[in-house]
Copies of this chain bind each other. A is one copy, B any other.
């Protein structure tokens, strides 16, 4: 009988020393739990994704050295841990994405990743050579088909790769599948992932252990949810979501011991909420920042960011700034103050009126008498950006951006103004999703004043402005945006679905013309299968 410990750890990209300490601590815990094998996630040594750090020789040497420093611990327990390794063959890329099997104080085996995801946010073929030789890993009599993340993700009806590593490994008659992964969260990924894992169990008729990374890595949020599946597809062990955890189970050579568990499902907002809290928290903690600042406009977007920030960082670490202008409505201030009171966060008022008037005077001779418009509107937004950045510089807060995905999509935001900030918290939530999440949070505990949720959205940059003056209603807009951005649907197919032709064409045009703004935007916490940022790479100077 083999007791296997699954370690769902939260590494810090590039912090090899810190990650090694975590691995050592968990290994000691696994030994104390009398496990014979402890399994860590993909690239746990360096954290995922290491990106171009992989191009530095000392970075790779430090990763290799970390493996050497783990060897003595493998006298007491077998260790499977992910880390990069060098390709000794002259031809091909210089690295592999590897799973190291340490046993008896030695490197007993090294298994390399075969299928290298190179799409969406993934760039693995940029660094790694694909594996072409197949071996099973033997641990105390158990033959393990050891694979790395994407290696199990090719059972689709339109497979992205020409071969399946598990097909090769099956010829070596393994007893158990083990997959180490760094699979980021998205709203549909968790369902997809369980589906893919169960499909493997079914196809190969083997139980499976799946160990996933957890934690926020800049824009990417890894949700954990590591799992062991019985041959029949039922869970034998489930680890938590959005937190690090170690747990173990026993394998008798054919099956896991114990009663099967049930799958549980929550509504989407539960996961989105937890993902955002983890993403914010790790963005700050891993950079040694404690305090956040943002503009509180009285609108729903900043209300949501305020709520999430207070929950993630603690109400004492938040500074909300109201920056009214002459176009600001009464309720902007009163609603903001009410929200800040509900949250117990500090809220200050820094009006932009005088700064705006002074700059208008400075600029007036150079505006050549042209009538007021975009320049004046954007100037207000940029003055607010200046104020937030000045307070950030003075007090050491990180500026949280409050833009939502709908406005980022259509370019309804001012570069260097309301588009400023070190982290975009809700930039991967469409406006309708912002409302849903607010309603969900309010359903648990009424925090966000109802008036914020009820009033019509407005940028308040000119008298009586409303979003609906220049945009279709958000239900329609978000539906078009979702299909264009997430599903790469064409204008024709949207029109065929019944959307108004002019609305479709205008919306797509707005999205395409705003690439230059998004190019200069903050990292966005990724919640969907297609967030703006590294997962969507569109040309700027293009016609389409």
Contacts and interface: CB of A to CB of B under 8 A. Distances in A.
Contact of A366 (B348, B378, B379): B348
A146 B197 CA distance: 43
A233 interface: no
A18 interface: yes
Interface in A403-425: 415-416, 420, 422
A362 B382 contact: no
B162 A92 contact: yes
Contact of A416 (B51, B161, B362, B389): B389
A139 interface: no
A385 interface: yes
A18 B389 CA distance: 43
Interface centre among A391, A534, A542 (most CB of B within 10 A): A542
Contact of A541 (B216, B395, B537): B216
Contacts of A53: 538-539, 542, 544
A57 B544 CA distance: 13
A72 interface: no
A361 B354 contact: yes
A119 interface: yes
A2 to B, nearest CB: 35
12 contacts: A12-B542, A15-B543, A15-B544, A49-B539, A50-B539, A90-B157, A118-B126, A362-B387, A363-B394, A374-B393, A382-B390, A519-B523
Contact of A390 (B161, B375, B541): B375
Given A160-B93, A541-B216, A543-B12, A370 B394 contact: yes
Interface string A138-169: 00000000000000000001111111000000
Copies in the complex: 2
A282 interface: yes
Given A15-B542, A50-B542, A363-B394, 9 more contacts: A14-B542, A52-B538, A53-B544, A58-B490, A217-B539, A354-B362, A368-B394, A385-B416, A520-B520
A389 B385 CA distance: 13
A363 B389 contact: no
B363 A218 contact: no
A351 interface: yes
Contacts of A159: 90-92
B367 A47 contact: no
Contacts of A389: 378-379, 382, 415-416
A283 interface: yes
A540 interface: yes
A263 interface: no
A342 interface: no
B361 A162 contact: no
A543 B14 contact: yes
A162 B91 contact: yes
Interface string A313-349: 0000000000000000000000000000000000010
